[in-house]
Amino acid sequence: MPTTLSQSDLPGLELIHRGKVRDVYALPGNRLLMVATDRLSAFDVVLPDPIPGKGEMLTQISNFWFEKTAHLMPNHLTGEDVRSVLPAGVDPALYAKRAVITKRLKPVPVEAIARGYLIGSGWKDYQATGALCGIALPAGLQQAQKLPAPIFTPSTKAAVGDHDENVSFDSVVSQVGEELANAVRDATLKIYAFAAAHAAERGIIVADTKFEFGTDENGVLHIMDEMLTPDSSRFWPADKYQVGISPPSYDKQFVRDYLEQVGWNKQPPAPKVPADVIAGTAAKYAEALDKLAGIRLD
Ligand SMILES: Nc1ncnc2c1ncn2[C@@H]1O[C@H](COP(=O)(O)OP(=O)(O)OP(=O)(O)O)[C@@H](O)[C@H]1O
Ligand SMILES: [Mg+2]
């Protein structure tokens, strides 16, 4: 059975960050303990109810991809057993599948987004400007159409409560330097291409995805954070894909539809969500994990 955890509680460990989904603790030796909770955010607001097992599924999906792409790019995982750092008295079962020990890297301050399809804010941008984040595209593309080639559209990492903002590649260059900017772009596109090909064999389209990178004490670039999860990506079932309409996705669409339907103003606090919507969302995460990685947690 999956465990449910809304908020981690690890007495004696130093909590350094509580994001919308993850709780991050400092460990000795310049390491982190990252705990994916079962919190769900929609429209950038955390919902009052957890999605049982979601954090475990997220962590297992990321772990799958980190391993699968290790030949392309070093990643932040140390491979150590989480149980070795849990304080006495903490139930290991609660954390074993949802937490990882990582190297503590120096974050590159951009969200590295790869887009293979014209959807979401990219579609809006294209309709308004004929380009995507300043990158010229052919005229006459339709919603959800596959792009001639995947593109890198960086955005800023927003502070809590803010939305991320698209930025030009040049602004990334001026922020982190040309060498690092190029390395991040190249890695983003290379990993996206690899992952999209793998997912395609399993009937899933990776429409777009967000990566985060960091450098170690020797300046070596690593991929960190989460990787190719439903929270950081748009996954579409390939058999439902059709140009011109926004395809259903393997993520929060269930919850988003419900929240739109009840007319929530998208300001905190978010309303409670009925049990069937919660169960439906959990099932979507489980399906993504099973389809992409061939892993079933229950
Ligand atoms: N190996 C790492 N070294 C240093 N920082 C990391 C590493 N991996 C991830 N991070 C950072 O840890 C944090 C993880 O938090 P989390 O993703 O839950 O919340 P957030 O990014 O603040 O908000 P959001 O909920 O919008 O994602 C992020 O700031 C991420 O950049
Ligand atoms: Mg994050």
Give the residue, by CA position, lying nearest to ligand 1 atom 6.
225
Domain ranges of the chain: 14-105, 107-252+273-293
**Do 14-105 and 107-252+273-293 share a fold?**
no
- Asked whether residue 162 carries a pLDDT value surpassing 70, the answer given is no
Q: If you average pLDDT over residues 59-72, what whole number do you get?
A: 98
Rounded to the nearest angstrom, the distance between the alpha carbon of 91 and the centre of ligand 2 is 26
Give the pocket of ligand 1 (CB within 6 Å): 17, 19-22, 24, 32, 76, 102-105, 107, 212, 214, 224-225
Rounded to the nearest angstrom, the distance between the alpha carbon of 151 and the centre of ligand 1 is 23
Rounded to the nearest angstrom, the distance between the alpha carbon of 111 and the centre of ligand 2 is 9
- Asked whether residue 161 carries a pLDDT value surpassing 70, the answer given is no
Helix (H, G, I), strand (E, B) or coil at 106: strand
Measured in degrees and rounded to the nearest 5, phi and psi for residue 24 equal -120, 130
- Contact between 147 and 137 (Cβ < 8 Å): yes
- Give pLDDT tens digits for 81-129: 999 999 999 999 999 999 999 999 999 999 999 999 999 999 999 999 9
Question: Minimum mean pLDDT among 122-126, 205-209, 246-250, 269-273: which range?
Answer: 246-250
Give the residue, by CA position, lying nearest to ligand 1 atom 21.
19
Q: If you average pLDDT over residues 19-46, what whole number do you get?
A: 96
* pLDDT range class, residue 159, cuts 50, 70, 90: low
Measured in degrees and rounded to the nearest 5, phi and psi for residue 256 equal -60, -45
Q: If you average pLDDT over residues 157-183, what whole number do you get?
A: 87
* pLDDT range class, residue 13, cuts 50, 70, 90: very high
- Asked whether residue 171 carries a pLDDT value surpassing 80, the answer given is yes
- The CATH class that applies to domain 107-252+273-293 reads alpha beta
Please give the sequence-ordered ranges of beta strands (E in DSSP) within 155-215, or none if there are none: 155-156, 204-215
Residues in the chain: 298
The CA distance from 261 to 265, in Å, is: 11
The domain 14-105 belongs to what CATH superfamily? Phosphorylase Kinase; domain 1 (3.30.200.20)
Rounded to the nearest angstrom, the distance between the alpha carbon of 192 and the centre of ligand 1 is 20
